Amino acid sequence: MKPANILSYDPEADIAMICVEEGHAASEEHSWGLIDRDRDTGQLMGFEIWNASTVLPVEKIDALRDKSRGVAA
């Protein structure tokens, strides 16, 4: 697996995405979003937070927006 460290926020979908590893993942759906784990090892690869603007502090959403635009937060 390759390190990814991708942080983003999609305001239209209201989804925050945190990717820590790239590769082939299996997704586990939860009421709040998804957890992606390596299919073979179960290691955490990333996750999505649905309805992010209602569950994350506004400063975290703003920081993710800045990272999505390529601006240091």
The closest alpha carbon to 13, from 59, 58, 48, 63, belongs to 48
Domain span at 38 = 2-68
Please indicate, yes or no, if residue 73 is contained in any of the structural domains. Answer: no
- Statement: the pTM of the whole predicted model exceeds 0.85: no
Tally Cβ neighbours within 10 Å of residue 31. 6
- What distance in Å separates the CA atoms of residue 70 and residue 57, rounded to the nearest whole number? 20
Q: What is the per-residue pLDDT across 37-56, written as a single tens digit (0 to 9) for each?
A: 999 999 999 999 999 999 99
Please indicate, yes or no, if residue 8 is contained in any of the structural domains. Answer: yes
Q: How many domains does the chain have?
A: 1
Please indicate, yes or no, if residue 16 is contained in any of the structural domains. Answer: yes
The closest alpha carbon to 23, from 55, 51, 46, 52, belongs to 46
Percent of the chain with pLDDT over 70: 85
